[in-house]
Amino acid sequence: MNALDREHVFIDGTWQRSAGGDIEVHSAITGLVIGRVPDGAAEDVQKAVAAARAAFPAWSRTALADRLDLLAKLATKVDERADELARLISAEVGTPLRVSTAVQVGLPRRVLQSYGELMEDFQVEEQVGDSLVFREPIGVVAAVTAWNYPLQQVLGKIGAALVAGCTVVLKPSQVAPLSAFIVADLIEEIGFPPGVFNLVSGRGRVVGEELVGHPDVDMVTFTGSTGAGRRIGEVASRTVKRVALELGGKSPNVILDDADFAQAVKVGVANCFTNTGQTCTALTRMLVPQSRISEVEELVRARLRKYVLGDPLDQATTMGPLASAAQRDSVREYVQVGIDEGATLIHGGLEVPIGVPSGYFVTPTAFSMVTPDMRIAREEIFGPVLSILPYGSEEEAIEIANDSEYGLSGAVWSGDRERALGVARQLRTGAVDINGSFFNMLAPFGGYKQSGNGRELGHHGLAEFFELKSVQQAPQNS
């Protein structure tokens, strides 16, 4: 038996044999099987939801200080196994090790820690006229996570739910589930109350559907594709439960004519190609003045020539493979689409990278003279492909930026901060970076339009896990 093989799901505080079969987990680096996890069945979900429902009353009444203490212990345990987790996620997803260490593991650990800070001034009770308004934990939460940032997805969702007083059933992505099992190991070691956290791995069409549609699940928090999000919304609506969806993106990077072009392109390319482009907020549409298009093309080429493809566990590697064969094939299909649509290929293409391991590698690719109607400008590719779109005026740039079914993120570059802010206000996206700002885990994260519903992180993200109750009080006699 492989050390990474997992034969049990985690339900009611114990590891239990799944009623289903198993799923092979493949290395993004080599394509070989590195582990197995249970292919959960409906019976597993029913047991997990029953355990979470039974544990909810006591957990919701547990003192906040006690809940925070358990989460602090979980953060410490994550720190202790950070190297192991980073290497594991690099193998599963293909993220270069230095990025895995800082982002795949370091960021979720800090997010977990942030919930304690946020709860210090989170208002759970307020007086509104003659009414007392309470925030109360919503109940049993189904957390369905994606594969691109697997530990962040898990810790971000379960941390918010647990600190709010909710109980959780987690279904991790079948592509990269192994770090979620380590989280379950840590929760068992710490001694969380039975049923507060449950893990059932498996496929979306079985475990996901049963979990999302279960009448004893009060809320679904999901990160993944817009197509899957639509299906979750449909299934969840049958039992009228809360649904928080963090879905796809096709984020615009608007470079205005007075911007520092060298810096804007440098940061824009880095953002687009981080994690081999497997990031929902990736700035995949670079909007530039028509008169500066040749300059931008050369700047992009110069940045992409510096990328070193290879084994993500090698410190010299700056871009690893995609997470799966299906993702590799999809990205290559989109590159062909871009060529067929008549976009100008300025770097990369369909050539298979040489001198790399046998996993799911593609060549970083950039197209120029892309028009807003092209598929590569409209559809989420979720891989290392950049589209450069020319515009004539600031008004046209804003129009192109907003001409999308998505609205997750965006960026604006300008030498005039107020001008940049004015454009940012007009972008229909849940977040906008100005001149290369940094990710703020205390700010709400989520999108407009088909990029989702609800928010994660910060006070706004915590609020998703509460119900509001108004208690009307008769006026006191004078």
* 472 phi, psi to nearest 5 deg: -85, 135
Q: In terms of Cα–Cα distance, which of 318, 327, 368 is closest to 225?
A: 327
Task: Return the H-helix or E-strand segment holding 346.
Answer: strand 344-347
DSSP state of 137: E
pLDDT on residue 425: 98
The number of beta carbons lying within 10 Å of the beta carbon of residue 103 is: 21
Exposed / middle / buried, residue 468 (Cβ in 10 Å: 0-12, 13-18, 19+): exposed
Q: Strand, helix or coil at 67?
A: helix
* 168 phi, psi to nearest 5 deg: -135, 140
144 contact partners, CB below 8 Å, separation of at least 6: 171, 204, 208, 211, 212, 220, 221, 222, 223, 224, 232
Question: Can you tell me which residue has the tokens 């928080």?
Answer: 244
Q: Strand, helix or coil at 16?
A: strand
User: Domains of the chain, with CATH numbers?
Assistant: 8-247+451-470 (3.40.605.10), 252-440 (3.40.309.10)
pLDDT on residue 169: 98
Distance CA 345, CA 305 (A): 14
* Residue pair 302/261 in contact by the 8 Å Cβ criterion: no
Query: Exposure pattern of 335-353 as b/e (b: 16+ CB <10 Å)?
Result: bebbbeeebeebbbbeeee
Give the CA dihedral 324, 328, 329, 331, nearest 10 degrees: 140
Note the pLDDT tens digit of each residue in 179-211: 999 999 999 999 999 999 999 999 999 999 999
298 belongs to the catalytic site:
no
* Residue pair 45/200 in contact by the 8 Å Cβ criterion: yes
pLDDT on residue 474: 80
pLDDT on residue 473: 86
CA angle 453/456/460 to nearest 5° reads: 95
Low-confidence ranges of the chain (pLDDT < 50): none
Question: Can you tell me which residue has the tokens 């205005």?
Answer: 256
pLDDT on residue 477: 67
* Residue pair 55/196 in contact by the 8 Å Cβ criterion: yes
Query: Which residue in the list 92, 210, 246, 380 is annotated as catalytic?
Result: 246
* Residue pair 199/187 in contact by the 8 Å Cβ criterion: no
Integer angstrom CA distances of residue 129 from 135, 470, 471, 475, 477: 17, 11, 11, 10, 15
From start to end of 176-284, where are the E strands?
A: 197-199, 219-223, 242-246, 252-255
Pairing of strands 167-171, 197-199: parallel
pLDDT on residue 355: 95
CA angle 111/54/108 to nearest 5° reads: 10
